[in-house]
A and B are shown apart, each in its own frame.
Chain A
Amino acid sequence: MIGYLGEFFLGQWVPVRELCQDASGDEAAPDAAPLATFYDDSFTPVTDHSDLKVPPIAQGDRTGLFNRDVQLDSNFSAGRYHVLVEYAVSSSNKSALFFFDVVDGGNAGGAYVAMFYYRRPHANYIVGQRDDGTLEFRRGPKL
């Protein structure tokens, strides 16, 4: 499988998805979890994004279907990226190649997924949780 995944901005999640096949092109369980490696536009491996294990999904429904959503964190910036997915079926190696573009905008921590606002006599506060799990504490007016 080779394909273009589209455009994303920082903080979004890129789906790395592969349907493992045997030599006949039939769906097959691989010998081990597929490994995904990300490369930047000069084909240098992205820091902390080499040989990422891709877990199975829909195990009771589909054979050989694997997926891992990878967040575009601070290791990424605007540009073209490639993802090479490798696995083996009955000791026969297979590979898949995907590519996507990171466009300007977004935040490496992702969007807010939860937020709490509370008021105090001296100021208003927001506690927000970003998609990557980090918490932010904002005060208005600022000191």
Chain B
Amino acid sequence: MDDLGYLGAVELGGDLPVALPCRNASLVPTAPTGTPAYTIYDSEFSSVDTGTLGAADTDSKTGFRTGTHTVSAGNGFASGGFYTILITYVVSGSNRNAIGTFRVT
């Protein structure tokens, strides 16, 4: 599992940029099979929202997938909340994950 760590704080109603260098089991940057998907959980680990990263490598950098998620009240987010994002993808038939956290102000 890749640890994205703390992604910082984002204002309610703002956008959270999400980026991940997809890697194989040897940590070599590798284009994933399909599109990486993610689920965002609240502090009680209830699912709040989902999304996907780009279907193609960003800036032609192998395995570099990016996206933006709108952190709004309409999408289930609340000011002061602490959230966990879990990204899943497949590389060479092997399932891989990345996890990070962020706070909504």
Chain A interface residues toward B at CB < 8 A? 2-4, 23, 37, 39, 41-43, 45, 80, 82, 84, 86, 92-97, 99, 101
The listed residue (B3, B17, B61, B62) touching A80 by CB distance below 8 A is B17
B86 at the interface (CB under 8 A from A): no
Are the CB atoms of B29 and A4 closer together than 8 Å?
no
How large, as a class, is the contact surface on chain B?
Answer: 20 to 34
Bound CA–CA A41/B8 (angstroms): 13
Which residues of chain B are near A94, meaning CB under 8 Å? 27-29
Distance of A99 from chain B, by nearest CB (Å): 7
Q: How far is the CB of A17 from chain B (nearest CB, A)?
A: 15
B67 to chain A, nearest CB (A): 8
Q: Smallest CB-CB separation from B9: which chain A residue?
A: A101
B2 touches A2 (CB 8 A): yes
Q: Which A residues are in CB contact (< 8 Å) with B23?
A: 95
Given contacts A43-B19, A45-B59, A95-B64, 14 further A-B contacts (CB under 8 A): A23-B26, A37-B59, A39-B19, A41-B15, A43-B59, A80-B17, A84-B64, A93-B28, A93-B62, A94-B28, A94-B29, A95-B21, A95-B61, A101-B8
By the criterion CB–CB under 8 Å, are B17 and A43 in contact?
A: yes
Per DSSP, are chain B's interface residues mostly helix, strand or loop, or mixed? strand
In the bound complex, CA of A80 to CA of B15 (Å):
10
Contact assessment for A97 and B59 in the assembled complex, using a CB-CB cutoff below 8 Å: no
Assembled-state Cα–Cα distance A101/B59 (Å): 21
Is B55 an interface residue, CB under 8 A from the partner?
no
Chain A residues with CB below 8 A from B17, complex form: 41-43, 80, 82, 99
- Name the B residues within 8 Å of A95 (CB-CB): 21, 23, 29, 61, 63-64
User: Is B29's CB under 8 angstroms from A39's CB?
Assistant: no
B35 at the interface (CB under 8 A from A): no
